[in-house]
Structure 1
């Protein structure tokens, strides 16, 4: 019994930092939530537009958007939204409902909200958009950003 308690305390001491690290991630919100959040507490918005097939998008999600300093910067200063550019979901946002042309996901068939957010720009993935408190486009990057480049983008 005495050893069980010591072993338990040792395991908790060793595993606690890992549990804490695993819980640290970006607080992604939906566009529906973003509408409400901006009305209650205006804040800058970070939008990550990606696709399932984009290798650089996945690399950014796994390697860059998981770094503690990037997570802290985004969670502290921004509302973060992730948008699959080829999504087939209806999205309620900005007093409208954005409906895809088809209910089947197809490569190259982009969601109308993604097209609107990119404002006529070429569809390049990943696309990272930064909006000010009034939801006016402040900055856009349409390429893979390493952690240093993303840090500068977020400043």
Structure 2
């Protein structure tokens, strides 16, 4: 027969294990605000992975949902700064010492200059992925949803960049 003390001890251990497991499973990917990237880069330079999206884009929401559940993304998140930037943001902001503003294209439409700059020439599609190196140079650009396999390949590439950066220090 189990004593109450032993039962309580086993129950406490079980709750601790469940708590650790559930916190790992629910590991939230917390995007960095684009306005904080410059100061973070000054403290510790890392690659910057940016997801350009809009509030109305269902594919963008689907991609964000997939990222939130992606274990590889959560495990790799310390290797880079992850930014979700609303390409229709009306907020004036500074990035890399330059000021960017929202540019209207119609009565209730428009895009942010920074989204256009990060996208480069060509049509801006949503979602769009942009990977910048520690010197803010574009390493990767992809318009559209990344499949889990493509995302894994991108994370592996970022891991290789981070390892090579450590070797040059």
**Alignment RMSD, CA only?**
2.4
Q: Mark the CA change 1:65 to 1:52 in structure 2 (over 3 Å): closer, same or farther.
A: same
* Residue in structure 2 matching 1:85, options 69, 84, 87: 87
Distance in 2, matches of 1:143 and 1:78, equals 21
Aligned to 1:58: 61
Q: TM-score, normalised by structure 2?
A: 0.77
What does 1:4-153 correspond to in 2, within 5 Å?
5=8, 9=12, 10-22=14-26, 24-73=27-76, 75-101=77-103, 106=108, 108-153=109-154
Distance in 2, matches of 1:13 and 1:32, equals 37
The offset of 1:12, in angstroms, is 4.4
Distance in 2, matches of 1:117 and 1:20, equals 32
Name the structure where helix makes up a greater proportion of residues: 2
**Runs of 5+ in structure 2 lacking a partner?**
158-169
Structure 1 residue runs of 4 or more that deviate by more than 6 Å after TM superposition: none
Q: Is the 8 A contact 2:31 2:83 kept in 1?
A: yes
Distance in 1, matches of 2:78 and 2:19, equals 26
Secondary structure of 1:49's counterpart equals strand
Q: Mark the CA change 1:121 to 1:66 in structure 2 (over 3 Å): closer, same or farther.
A: farther
Q: Which moved more, 1:12-21 or 1:29-38?
A: 12-21
The total of aligned residue pairs comes to: 150
Q: TM-score, normalised by structure 1?
A: 0.83
Distance in 2, matches of 1:147 and 1:116, equals 27
Distance in 2, matches of 1:70 and 1:19, equals 15
Q: Is the 8 A contact 2:35 2:93 kept in 1?
A: yes
Q: Is the 8 A contact 1:70 1:147 kept in 2?
A: no
Q: Mark the CA change 1:11 to 1:40 in structure 2 (over 3 Å): closer, same or farther.
A: closer
